[in-house]
Amino acid sequence: MSDDAGAAPPSPKTDASAVLSIDAMGGDLGPEAVIAGLARAVRKNPAIRFLVHGDKPVLDALIAKRRGLSDHCSTRHAEGVVTMDDKPAQVMRRGRDTSMWSAIDAVRSGEATVCVSCGNTGALMAVSMILLRKLPGVNRPAISCLWPSRNKTGFNVMLDVGADIRADSDDLLQYALMGMSYARNGLGLDRPRVGLLNVGTEEHKGRSELRDAHDLIEALADANRFDFVGFVEGGDIPSDRVDVIVTDGFTGNVALKTGEGTARFVRDMLGEAFRAGPLSKVAGLLALGSLKRLGGKIDPRRVNGGVFLGLNGTVVKSHGSADETGVAAAVALAWDLSRTGFSDKLKARLSSVTGQVEAEQ
């Protein structure tokens, strides 16, 4: 059962009723890569519909070059573009004419269910908080990511990975509940296993806020249908011991960037090793199938898409450097969350838990 409210799951939204709002101008590779990614996503799922924001003449021309894509897209003109160098405060004051603002506003107004953007992370979070507002009881929204793992689903959920460098015990509790809800509705796990990232697994290890969060999460686990495995370490992040890893944004972002850098390093070193000489090239040809499977597993593009959690609406942040493959992956994630009614279920879950906590105080 994937419903997060505890009752029987509602019927999923029909495919035709769900629209994704796309900020087409914010990525490093420009709107060409975004439109190519939309076309790829449509080939895999023809039911997807898009509301695409940006320079309308440019977007219409790019969409027209992709056979059949215009049947899935409506465009909305937005003159401005949020660059990677723009400060969030500047965008909050002067960003109303940008494609990012327009794309998020479409979710706020109910025209679309999920926003997808390759743009500036800080600005995207700031504008999302202005337009969508935080869910009741949420102090700090979080960014979650899917991490390749040895679990049957192929992934673990980790949060926060960069929304806020601070997190007290109550924040970590909320992250645990939001991550659990994401794992249940995004990965189809009926009873997710939640772990709290620490420098050791012993209960006396770590900062005081981690030890306090440990007790808070443990106390609410059974009532919210998840298993708390206690403290986990960095080596557990890609393991099959846990489904959701909870941490503060500073630690999570460092871990995420380290993981992506390590994946690139392994891929590059393997390539160099198999090009080192004639025998190495032969060995590389013999191992080609295995290398492709490994490359697919550690390719950051296939898990592209950080989800903003704790807002009145769902926003998926794609890597700024995402190519066609990466954009398509972010769109697929957004589509899955849209069809499960994820935002409404998360809101119901947090509201229910807030009531439990207040009753115990």
Burial class (CB in 10 A: 0-12, 13-18, 19+), 152: exposed
pTM of the complete model: 0.80
Residue 82 contacts residue 100 (beta carbons within 8 Å)? yes
Residue 77 contacts residue 107 (beta carbons within 8 Å)? no
**Using one digit for the tens of pLDDT, what is the confidence trace for 44-95?**
999 999 999 999 999 999 999 999 999 999 999 999 999 988 898 989 988 8
Residue 243 contacts residue 192 (beta carbons within 8 Å)? yes
User: Which of the pair, 348 or 135, is modelled with greater confidence?
Assistant: 135
Q: Does residue 269 surpass a pLDDT of 70?
A: yes
List the domain boundaries for the chain: 11-138+310-361, 139-301
> Could you tell me which residues are beta bridge partners of residue 196?
231, 246
Residue range 316-323: mean pLDDT, rounded: 88
Tokens in use for 269? 């070193």
Domain 139-301 has CATH 3.20.20.70: no
- The fourth-level CATH superfamily of domain 11-138+310-361 is Isopropylmalate Dehydrogenase (3.40.718.10)
**Using one digit for the tens of pLDDT, what is the confidence trace for 156-191?**
999 999 888 889 999 999 999 999 988 987 788 999
Percent over 70 (pLDDT), the chain:
87
Tokens in use for 272? 């160099």
Q: Does residue 355 surpass a pLDDT of 90?
A: no
Same fold, 11-138+310-361 and 139-301: yes
Q: From the CB of residue 248, how many other CB atoms can be counted at a distance below 10 Å?
A: 26
Residue 113 contacts residue 20 (beta carbons within 8 Å)? yes
**Longest Cα–Cα distance in the chain:** 71
Nearest to 71 by CA among 101, 50, 93: 50
Q: Does residue 5 surpass a pLDDT of 50?
A: no
Q: Does residue 14 surpass a pLDDT of 80?
A: no
Tokens in use for 54? 């940006």
Highest mean pLDDT among 264-268, 295-299, 305-309: 305-309
Query: Regarding beta strands 193-197 and 244-246, do their DSSP bridges make them parallel or antiparallel, or are they unpaired?
Result: parallel
Q: Which residues does 63 contact at the CB level (< 8 Å), separation at least 6?
A: 35, 52, 69, 70, 73, 75
Q: What is the dihedral angle through the alpha carbons of 84, 89, 91, 96, rounded to the nearest 10 degrees?
A: 170
Nearest to 246 by CA among 204, 298, 210, 201: 210
SS3 per-residue string spanning 120-147: CHHHHHHHHHHHHCECCCCCCCEEEEEE
Give the H or E element holding residue 88.
Answer: helix 88-94
Percent over 90 (pLDDT), the chain:
51
CA dihedral over 346, 352, 354, 357, signed as positive or negative: negative
